[in-house]
Amino acid sequence: MHEVLVIGGGPAGLTAAMFCRMRKMSVLVLDAGRLGGQLVSLYGDKPVHDWPGYAHIIAGDLAQHLIDHAREIGVEMTGNRKVLDMKPLEGGGFELATHDPTTSTDHAYSAQTVIVAIGGGAFEPRKLKVAGEETLDESALTYRLVDKARVPGKRVVVIGGGDSGLESAQTAHQAGAKVTLVQALDRFTGMETNIDQVNQMEIPRHFNSRVKALEVEDGVLRAVIIQTKGAPEPVGLECDYLVVNIGAAVNLDAIKRWGIATEGNQITVNPHMHTSLEGVFACGDIATFDGKYKLLLTASGEGCVAAQSAYVYVRKPQRVTMGELYT
């Protein structure tokens, strides 16, 4: 039995695991997919500008730095372990049932305490739900950040005016694509730096517009049909590659089955990252509290707090010091 089991191998989970190891605790990280979390699964090629010490670093590279650091100090980590169930043990602690989709095998793990750091949770990208969408494959449609290798010389339409959509538009433009942005609102909703960069690139945009249909001929995407508020007729945007970045539908059914209180699509925690279930902590994007601010940096900071709380819960020190972290 490990002292701490961390569910999720993104920045919050890896940071929590590292700080547990600095306390000389036995810790295991399980991730449903690749270690690195959303940094690799969603944003592998995305430049990161808000991680102190790096004016510019690719998300996938940052994830690898975190993984390497954790491995160097003795954190045990395993990918392709989707947690299906978690049950309390009679003598204390928890047993977790997991499944490896790559080998179709099941595995069980136990730990005295659990830190949940699963990012946005189990989610599916939101789809347009329009005619023609289901006929397209990944060569013409993606719901993730744009793959820059696919778009040079292509006509790319990006749906979504948040940070993901703006970043996809920038990446496609820089890769040599002809880009058009479509946003349902009357303004972009991303960070000011992303909005400024899109404006500097003079990327055409359609505000107050929604996709009505996709024009597909013999399985080939030809155009995106949009309707702009107040316009008499829909218009067609010529398109070879469609990027849909309009958020995700989150599924927290498993979390709720475990008896953990949630608010919206997040787990409620106190300032020490305690959940409503004793012995279980949460941190990163999956956790919420008053004043919550979602950034890579704050997710890692919450990981530190969760690790400290797990240490106190398991070891029950008479006095908490920082000395163990640096010996």
Please state, in angstroms and rounded to a whole number, the distance separating the CA atoms of residues 238 and 179. Answer: 10
Cα torsion 286, 32, 171, 219: sign:
negative
Residue 83 marked in a binding site? yes
Closest CA to 149 of 175, 181, 180, 178: 175
Residue 143 marked in a binding site? no
Please state, in angstroms and rounded to a whole number, the distance separating the CA atoms of residues 327 and 324. Answer: 5
Residue 318 marked in a binding site? no
Indicate the residue type of 101. P
Q: How far is CA 170 from CA 140, 177, 306, in A?
A: 18, 10, 35
Residue 186 marked in a binding site? no
Could you tell me if 284 and 296 are in contact, meaning their C-beta atoms sit under 8 angstroms apart?
Answer: no
Please state, in angstroms and rounded to a whole number, the distance separating the CA atoms of residues 294 and 7. Answer: 19
Residue 48 marked in a binding site? no
Residue 31 marked in a binding site? yes
- Phi first, then psi: give them for residue 54, nearest 5 degrees: -130, 110
Residue 285 marked in a binding site? yes
Closest CA to 166 of 187, 152, 149, 151: 187
- The binding site consists of 31, 38, 43, 83, 123, 285, 321
Q: Annotated binding site for FAD, which residues?
A: 31, 38, 43, 83, 123, 285, 321
